[in-house]
């Protein structure tokens, strides 16, 4: 069985209308993607507590899956009529043939060498080096399989910097890969946080698959910062989760990193360390300056146009 894939450009004020109209006109599924993804014009969307978030990207691809026999021009014209929209001249149509999607997906993911002693290994592969620390991770709904340069940078940073027993906060945990690596590298208390409940679920599943103990929660479930001089707890009181960490790693994107600076800085203890990635080289100075208000910051490493920044929290 084959299908047709339609990609139609739409600005922010028309993307949702096109999505609804295409579904009403016979599309099997529709998604909206950022047309500027992977460029400096990328507009990240994030939903951290207390922060405003954009409702949509300014420039979008509306991507629809259509039956193979669909009359694409007629379907687009009908969608435009229903949504009172103008048909763009530069839409794209591609035929998608039936394939063994499981086998195709597996063929695209080989074990990833992070360093001599750290590997990311899909579940259908044998570990290339059984003596190394191997993280078993399959591609899923959440970001973080080790294939992106920012993930590799953060993994290498953790390998070189996490000390036995330290507490680690992975903010924007995605698949949980950084939190899992931190535990396998000897960290003590580890918490992964994400705004996406599906990422939290994926992280918990991956932690169970790797037989490690770590906690995961959504951003609005993160324990509050304690008062500077909290009153003593009474006898028998239940201990509250600790909210300050020795190490914080955040592999997200520049815009949310900039907006989250006060929140992330407050989660690192005096003298603790922070590692930030998801940052293009051209954006590094901006983030170094922003986090320099709380940390002694520097560029740690760069790969394929992306950087990892590190800092020590000033007392």
Pair (28, 163) in one structural domain: no
Instruction: Round the average pLDDT of the chain to a whole number and report it.
Output: 85
Pair (218, 72) in one structural domain: no
- Mean of pLDDT values over 283-309: 96
Of these ranges, 30-44, 132-146, 170-184, the one predicted with the greatest mean pLDDT is 170-184
Query: Would residue 247 count as lying in a domain?
Result: yes
Identify the domain boundary among 98, 115, 132: 98
Q: What is the pLDDT of residues 261-276, one digit of tens each?
A: 999 999 999 999 999 9
* CATH number, domain containing residue 57: 3.30.70
Confidence of residue 86 (pLDDT cuts 50, 70, 90): very high
Pair (159, 302) in one structural domain: yes
- Mean of pLDDT values over 62-72: 91
* CATH number, domain containing residue 174: 3.40.50.150
Total domain count for the chain? 2
The whole-number pLDDT of residue 103 equals 56
pTM of the complete model: 0.67
Identify the domain boundary among 79, 98, 117: 98
Confidence of residue 181 (pLDDT cuts 50, 70, 90): very high
Pair (175, 244) in one structural domain: yes
* pLDDT over 70 (residue 139): no
Query: Would residue 136 count as lying in a domain?
Result: no
Pair (207, 267) in one structural domain: yes
Pair (210, 84) in one structural domain: no
* pLDDT over 80 (residue 140): no
Query: Would residue 179 count as lying in a domain?
Result: yes
Pair (169, 48) in one structural domain: no
The whole-number pLDDT of residue 283 equals 94
Pair (40, 180) in one structural domain: no
The whole-number pLDDT of residue 144 equals 61
Confidence of residue 50 (pLDDT cuts 50, 70, 90): very low
* pLDDT over 70 (residue 68): yes
Q: What is the pLDDT of residues 17-29, one digit of tens each?
A: 999 999 999 998 9
- Mean of pLDDT values over 49-59: 61
- Mean of pLDDT values over 7-13: 92
Q: What is the pLDDT of residues 88-126, one digit of tens each?
A: 988 999 988 765 555 555 555 677 888 888 988 887 777
What string of H, E and C letters represents the secondary structure of the chain?
CCEEEEEEEEECCCHHHHHHHHHHCCCCEEEEEECCCCCCCCCCCCCCCCCCCCCCCCEEEEEEEEECCCCHHHHHHHHHHHHCCCCCCCCEEEEECCCCHHHHHHHCCCCEEEECCEEEECCCCCCCCCCCEEEECCCCCCCCCCCCHHHHHHHHHHHHHCCCCCCEEEECCCCCHHHHHHHHCCCCCEEEEECCHHHHHHHHHHHHHCCCCCEEEEHHHCCCCCCCCCCCCCCCCCCCCCCCEEEEEEECCHHHHHHCHHHHHHCEEEEEEEEEEEEEHHHHHHHHHHHCCCEEEEEEEEECCEEEEEEEECC
Query: Would residue 308 count as lying in a domain?
Result: yes
Pair (153, 265) in one structural domain: yes
Share of residues in the chain with pLDDT > 90 (%) = 57
Of these ranges, 4-13, 54-63, 111-120, 153-162, the one predicted with the greatest mean pLDDT is 153-162
* pLDDT over 70 (residue 151): yes
For 243, the domain range is 145-225+239-313
Query: Would residue 57 count as lying in a domain?
Result: yes
């Amino acid at each position: 069985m084959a299908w047709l894939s339609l990609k139609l450009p739409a600005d922010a004020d028309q993307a949702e209308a096109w999505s609804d109209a295409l579904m009403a006109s016979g599309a099997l599924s529709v998604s909206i993607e950022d047309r500027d993804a992977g460029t400096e014009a990328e507009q990240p969307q994030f939903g951290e507590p207390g922060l405003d978030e954009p409702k949509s990207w300014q420039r979008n691809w509306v991507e629809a899956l259509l039956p193979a026999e669909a009359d694409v021009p007629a379907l687009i014209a009908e969608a435009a009529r229903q949504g009172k929209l103008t048909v763009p001249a530069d839409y794209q149509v591609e035929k998608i043939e039936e394939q063994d999607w499981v086998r195709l997906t597996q063929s695209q993911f080989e074990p990833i060498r992070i360093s001599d002693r750290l590997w990311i290994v899909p579940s259908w592969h044998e570990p290339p080096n059984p003596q190394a620390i191997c993280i078993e991770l399959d591609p899923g709904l959440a970001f973080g399989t080790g294939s992106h340069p920012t993930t590799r940078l953060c993994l290498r940073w953790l390998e070189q910097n996490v000390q036995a027993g330290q507490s680690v906060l992975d903010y924007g945990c995605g698949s949980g890969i950084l939190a899992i690596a931190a535990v396998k590298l000897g960290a003590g208390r580890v918490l992964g946080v994400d705004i996406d409940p599906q990422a939290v679920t994926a992280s918990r599943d991956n932690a169970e698959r790797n037989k490690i103990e770590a906690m995961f929660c959504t951003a609005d479930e993160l324990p509050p910062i304690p008062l500077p001089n909290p009153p003593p707890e009474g006898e028998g009181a239940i201990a509250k989760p600790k909210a300050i960490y020795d190490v914080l790693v955040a592999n997200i994107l520049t815009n949310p990193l900039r907006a989250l600076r006060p929140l992330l800085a407050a989660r690192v203890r005096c003298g603790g360390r922070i590692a930030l990635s998801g940052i293009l080289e051209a954006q590094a100075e901006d983030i170094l300056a922003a986090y320099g208000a709380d940390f002694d910051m520097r560029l740690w490493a760069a790969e394929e146009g992306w950087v990892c920044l590190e800092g020590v929290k000033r007392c």
